[in-house]
Amino acid sequence: MVCLASYAKIVAMKVGLVYDPIYLEHDTGSHPENPQRLVAIMSHLEETGLKKKLTSLTPRPATIQELEMVHSPEYISRIKREAEILRRPSPPPTLSGEGRAACWLDPDTVICSRSYEVALYAAGGVLTAVEAVMNGGVDTAFALVRPPGHHATHDRAMGFCIFNNVAIAAKFALDNFNLSRVLIADFDVHHGNGTQETFYADPKVLYFSTHQYPFYPGTGWIDEIGVGEGEGTTVNFPMIAGWGDEEYLRVFNEVLVPVAQRFRPELILVSAGFDPHWADSIAMMQVSVTGFAQMVEVLKKLATELCQGRLVFTLEGGYNLQVAAASTKATFDVLLDSPEITDPLGKSSRVRHEGFEGRIKKIKQIHHIVKS
């Protein structure tokens, strides 16, 4: 006879993978956020045999009503219109001889004729993951979508992002599954200004972010903690360039864990950006693949302890293809309870630790985190 506790251990975790080739149709040319990111990740999951262990989930497009939970109708219409213009036959050559194959929404964010529809599926892909986890079809899920989302604001595209996928998913979970509290943990190297803005006065969503600072987009200082009823439910840990696994792990264990335990989320969403890796040239943090896996482990334990394991990841940044592929695999390995994590790139030799003790002391004061 098998007792229930040991029986639970031998039941494999059911982990969902949201992916569709439509995500490759957001054509950004030679931009760092390009389709090759997902091609590299998916090839690696296939070649290593990991994909077979996952439950494939087919994404649906988000509805306009769902987008409007975060974005203005005018902004949504503008993205749709710009993509439509790009679909029209090329006009006769102008004096400058330039055609119009792409449209820049801001200095960093470009769209092609397919981008509006792809962005609907990016937002909808995270909703698919949330639905599967909340309905119990899978234990956890990772939505491998693009374009990413955490910089997109109510009425503005920013930083490679069109619609704020994770913010829409949090609103959707609150509204459709009758939840009261959702945690968004964001470890992308950039601050998720759009996500923060969406929930800055909202006590139902705890937004926690680690990000290089000072850095793009300029927001996310330690004293940005929310306003009104949302005061205290925004937690920013600005990271100094050069910090690595040790600092990230301490912030997760000493800041994220206690604030999450106090907040008691019913669902945890993760903006997973692998650009804090030491080999990602877009920024200067020194995290390793092993470090990401350890952070995922903390998130998984929190979800198990606080919200019946409900945990949904969505891809944000990460521009070194080998890093993105290995880190995504490591994330899945942790979610699957795989015994071994492979880190083909190893640890950084350039880690610095200066300034950390003062910073962590300061955030504990600001957010009233007392040592247990």
Active site amino acids: 151
| Torsions phi, psi for 21 (to 5 deg) | -60, -15
How far is 18 from 8, CA to CA, in rounded Å? 25
Q: Taking CB under 5 A as the rule, does residue 147 contact Zn ion?
A: no
* Least spacing, CB of residue 237 vs Zn ion, in Å: 15
Q: Taking CB under 5 A as the rule, does residue 188 contact Zn ion?
A: yes
Near Zn ion by CB under 5 A: residue from 273, 314, 319, 341? 273
Q: Which two tokens stand for residue 143?
A: 């939505």
CB atoms inside a 10 Å sphere around CB 110: 20
Residue 160 or 263 with smaller CB distance to Zn ion = 160
How far is 184 from 353, CA to CA, in rounded Å? 26
* Least spacing, CB of residue 364 vs Zn ion, in Å: 26
- Kindly indicate which of the ranges 8-16, 63-71, 186-194, 235-243 contains the residues binding Zn ion, using the contact rule CB under 5 A: 186-194
Beta bridge partners of 315: 272
* Least spacing, CB of residue 191 vs Zn ion, in Å: 9
Q: Taking CB under 5 A as the rule, does residue 190 contact Zn ion?
A: yes
How far is 299 from 184, CA to CA, in rounded Å? 11
Residue 263 or 278 with smaller CB distance to Zn ion = 278
Cα torsion 17, 21, 25, 27 to 10°: value is: 60
* Least spacing, CB of residue 318 vs Zn ion, in Å: 7
209: which residues sit within 8 A by CB, 6+ positions away?
A: 185, 186, 187, 188, 191, 192, 195, 196, 220, 235, 236, 237, 271
Residue 190 or 277 with smaller CB distance to Zn ion = 190
Q: Taking CB under 5 A as the rule, does residue 317 contact Zn ion?
A: yes
- Kindly indicate which of the ranges 6-14, 81-89, 260-268, 312-320 contains the residues binding Zn ion, using the contact rule CB under 5 A: 312-320
Q: Taking CB under 5 A as the rule, does residue 275 contact Zn ion?
A: yes
| Torsions phi, psi for 193 (to 5 deg) | -60, -35
Q: Taking CB under 5 A as the rule, does residue 276 contact Zn ion?
A: no
Please give the residue ranges that form the binding site for Zn ion (CB under 5 A).
188-190, 273, 275, 317
